[in-house]
Structure 1
Amino acid sequence: MSPVLLADVIAALDAAYPPGLAESWDSVGLVCGDPNDAVATVMVAVDATPAVVDEAIDAGVDLLLVHHPLLLRGVDTVGAHTPKGALVHRLIKAGCALFTAHTNADSADPGVSDALAAALGLIVSGPIESQPGQELDKWAVLVPVDDVDRVRSAMFAAGAGYVGNYRDCSWSVTGQGQFLPTGSANPRLGAVEALEKLDECRLEVIAPRGIRQKVLAAVRAAHPFEEVAFDVMEMATFPSPRGLGRVGELPEPLSLRDFTDRVANALPATAWGVRAAGDPDATVRTVAVCGGSGDGLLGVVSRLGVDAYVTADLRHHPADEHLRAGGPALIDVAHWASEWPWCDQAKGVLDSAFAQTPRWQVRLSSVRTDPWSLRASS
């Protein structure tokens, strides 16, 4: 069996957490490593801290997969004299690649918030804030019946014809077309200044809007006519299951007090702890969750009509204003703890792709990278 290459692992991760879902300010993907190197062992962590890098190198893993970018903002050096550059150098010298899946993993389906929802026992119904679905074109090309298979194949080769999990999808109907070549026309069929009638197929195919020019070039190259008759219609875009946060429902209602205890028991303990805002005896049935910092979604969550919102890094004033405006109860957890369940999800992505490979192993980092280390006793 051929070894798994880093390029293969990247392809699996990009399929699960498409880079195109990342926010414009984010930095995701391969930080260091050779895509042609073999990979047999992987470690997954939330952060690439010095302690996590030490653990990865000591374990001899080939790839360290993390959620938070090591190099997020622009840098002009990764020299070993800088803290982050020193980590990059250590990883390269040890032959350990570094890969990041950040906001693309936040918005993926499933993604970071799905892992958090699963840890809390929620039945997920969709994202808090949905991303629009893929932008699609519908192509309708008029082709002589004898040439339709060639044109259809060319459009498929250009990337058209995918509908969900199906490929090579098209629809066609036969009708009668006509044309009259004029002036300097050089018709393949018929003669200048003579009306020509023929049987044609109207061939309809769906294609991503982003490959419009590629599809057009394929149609023109495969079509037998000098002038190609076609329509391109932009299809309506609908909300997708991808997006930030998740909304779900508990199998049975709990008081806010009991649900807060459930959250604390489901996530790794931290000095930050778990705190709630709202009536302790209020009933919680529907819950919104967002792994990581989620107070930017407070307004959206309020409009959803859920009973509680679980996220991290809630600030005093936004939380206070949210509650006074009648928003749902809030449960604030440590940032690291809210994203830790994703590590096991990412392990599952890689194991499902490569578990049959000899010596394949994915392990979770045992290092807690939550920065808070002490909670004062009362």
Structure 2
Amino acid sequence: MTTLADLTAALDTAYPPKLAESWDSVGLVCGDPADKLTRVLFAVDATAAVVDEAIDWHAQALVVHHPLLLRGVDTVAVNTPKGALLHRLIRAGCALFTAHTNADSADPGVSDALAAAIGLTVTGPLDAKPEHAVDNWVFQVPRTHTDAVLAALFAAGAGGSGNYRDCALRMPATSQFRPMAAANPMRGALGELEHVEEERVEVLAPSAARSVVAAALRAAHPYEDPAYQVSERAPLPSSLGIGRVGTLPEPESLRTFTDRVAAALPATVSGVRAAGDPARTVYTVAVCGGAGDSYLSAATRLGVDAYVTADLRHHPVDEHLRRGGPALVDAAHWATEFPWCAQAESVVRTALPDLETRVSTVRTDPWRVRASS
């Protein structure tokens, strides 16, 4: 039987919590990891209407993008709006799980789903996260002791490379040294030049494990003061990060592209609007699900023809266009993130095929009324 712990493990694998921004709140909000699951509902927001749908459908878990509890929450009393929703979920035996900025930066993530809906072929992130810092350790050790030293370093966290473990480069080497008066050499005589057949070894290790690896090397190495060198790999961009950049199947005008975006996303009262020359040719496109005005300069640096996001404001847009930036297409916040729900549902269906899943049909965009004229 599938449990809530199985669900959270599948979602954490797809959207690693370590990718979340420091200010964010992601993961399991309420629920017992040991509880059994049969039904899971997906939505952008945990609004009252979405909670109604989850409870009416007898879902045991609700997975959302936006955190219900984020800033300044010091009570979940039932007489508060957020507390009332949590109490209803808990009483109904329905867990709540959030994947927010970790889902934004994952590969694939929120903006991949948006890009796919629009019909883009993704080429990379809009604002790439650097790969995690990695140290390269280089040292020499007598051949008779290489295996023991490597075992100690592997136990300390070194030697990992992607999906591989116990990785090392070993090369024959000849070392020389002259023990001085205060030395206590493993071999050789004081004052005499000694030559030793050794191996030159290189291993990778997380920079966060630097002190642990150093201690393991000193403890396992036969020399009283082993020589080693540590260099940190320069930060390199990865496939992870906010937003995506891609290309259309064929170039088209901004007017036609705006219609494409509107047709790809669920309809909202605010609709889809564009800033720029309607006749401008659009082929390369950047997208960012949710509020993306902080990445206007990134889209400009990349030289894309258009940038699709949400919550754009008058003055930043005006200044952006004055600087010659790409055309802008502004859609509703909820609409740009809604395609992620199907992506997350697919992740869970693949990992946990016994579960019954569905995406909420409730539109949680808060804007409801458009003027009649």
Kindly state the Cα deviation for residue 280 of structure 1 after the two structures are TM-superposed: 1.8
Provide the residue aligned with 2:361 in structure 1: 366
Kindly state the Cα deviation for residue 81 of structure 1 after the two structures are TM-superposed: 1.9
Provide the residue aligned with 2:33 in structure 1: 35
Matched, 1:108 2:106: yes
Provide the residue aligned with 2:171 in structure 1: 173
Matched, 1:21 2:19: yes
The answer to which of 222-231 and 190-199 deviates more is 190-199
Q: Quote the Cα distance in structure 1 between the aligned partners of 2:158 and 2:116.
A: 36
Amino acid of the structure 2 residue aligned with 1:324? R
Matched, 1:77 2:75: yes
Provide the residue aligned with 1:322 in structure 2: 320
Kindly state the Cα deviation for residue 313 of structure 1 after the two structures are TM-superposed: 0.7
The answer to which of 28-37 and 101-110 deviates more is 28-37
Provide the residue aligned with 1:216 in structure 2: 214
Amino acid of the structure 2 residue aligned with 1:377? S
Kindly state the Cα deviation for residue 37 of structure 1 after the two structures are TM-superposed: 3.0
3-state DSSP of counterpart to 2:338: helix
Q: Equivalences for 1:1-378 in 2 at 5 Å?
A: 3-179=1-177, 189=187, 196-355=194-353, 359-378=354-373
Amino acid of the structure 2 residue aligned with 1:252? E
The answer to which of 101-110 and 54-63 deviates more is 54-63
Cα deviation per residue 1:203-262 (whole Å; 9 max; x = unaligned)?
111112122223233333433444333221111111112111111110111111111111
Q: How many residues align?
A: 373
Kindly state the Cα deviation for residue 298 of structure 1 after the two structures are TM-superposed: 1.4
| Structure 1 residues 222 and 314: alpha-carbon distance in aligned structure 2, compared to 1, 3 A threshold | same
3-state DSSP of counterpart to 1:105: helix
3-state DSSP of counterpart to 1:332: strand
**Gap regions ≥5 residues in structure 1:** none
| Structure 1 residues 266 and 35: alpha-carbon distance in aligned structure 2, compared to 1, 3 A threshold | same
The answer to which of 97-106 and 188-197 deviates more is 188-197
Amino acid of the structure 2 residue aligned with 1:328? P
Amino acid of the structure 1 residue aligned with 2:355? W
Q: Quote the Cα distance in structure 1 between the aligned partners of 2:348 and 2:186.
A: 53
Q: Quote the Cα distance in structure 2 between the aligned partners of 1:305 and 1:230.
A: 44
Kindly state the Cα deviation for residue 276 of structure 1 after the two structures are TM-superposed: 1.3
Q: Note the aligned Cα RMSD (angstroms).
A: 2.1
Kindly state the Cα deviation for residue 167 of structure 1 after the two structures are TM-superposed: 3.0
Q: What's the TM-score once normalised by structure 2's chain length?
A: 0.92
Kindly state the Cα deviation for residue 183 of structure 1 after the two structures are TM-superposed: 6.4
Percent identity over paired residues? 65
Q: Quote the Cα distance in structure 2 between the aligned partners of 1:260 and 1:36.
A: 47
Kindly state the Cα deviation for residue 180 of structure 1 after the two structures are TM-superposed: 5.3
Kindly state the Cα deviation for residue 178 of structure 1 after the two structures are TM-superposed: 4.1
| Structure 1 residues 37 and 232: alpha-carbon distance in aligned structure 2, compared to 1, 3 A threshold | farther
Q: Quote the Cα distance in structure 2 between the aligned partners of 1:212 and 1:251.
A: 47
Kindly state the Cα deviation for residue 55 of structure 1 after the two structures are TM-superposed: 1.4
Amino acid of the structure 2 residue aligned with 1:10? T
| Structure 1 residues 309 and 162: alpha-carbon distance in aligned structure 2, compared to 1, 3 A threshold | same
| Structure 1 residues 232 and 295: alpha-carbon distance in aligned structure 2, compared to 1, 3 A threshold | same
| Structure 1 residues 77 and 231: alpha-carbon distance in aligned structure 2, compared to 1, 3 A threshold | same
The answer to which of 316-325 and 163-172 deviates more is 163-172
Q: Quote the Cα distance in structure 1 between the aligned partners of 2:181 and 2:55.
A: 74
Q: What's the TM-score once normalised by structure 1's chain length?
A: 0.91
Kindly state the Cα deviation for residue 269 of structure 1 after the two structures are TM-superposed: 0.8
Q: Quote the Cα distance in structure 2 between the aligned partners of 1:65 and 1:233.
A: 42
The answer to which of 99-108 and 14-23 deviates more is 14-23
Amino acid of the structure 1 residue aligned with 2:76? V
Amino acid of the structure 2 residue aligned with 1:373? R
Kindly state the Cα deviation for residue 135 of structure 1 after the two structures are TM-superposed: 0.8
Q: Quote the Cα distance in structure 2 between the aligned partners of 1:149 and 1:207.
A: 17
Kindly state the Cα deviation for residue 29 of structure 1 after the two structures are TM-superposed: 1.6
| Structure 1 residues 326 and 192: alpha-carbon distance in aligned structure 2, compared to 1, 3 A threshold | same
Kindly state the Cα deviation for residue 372 of structure 1 after the two structures are TM-superposed: 1.0
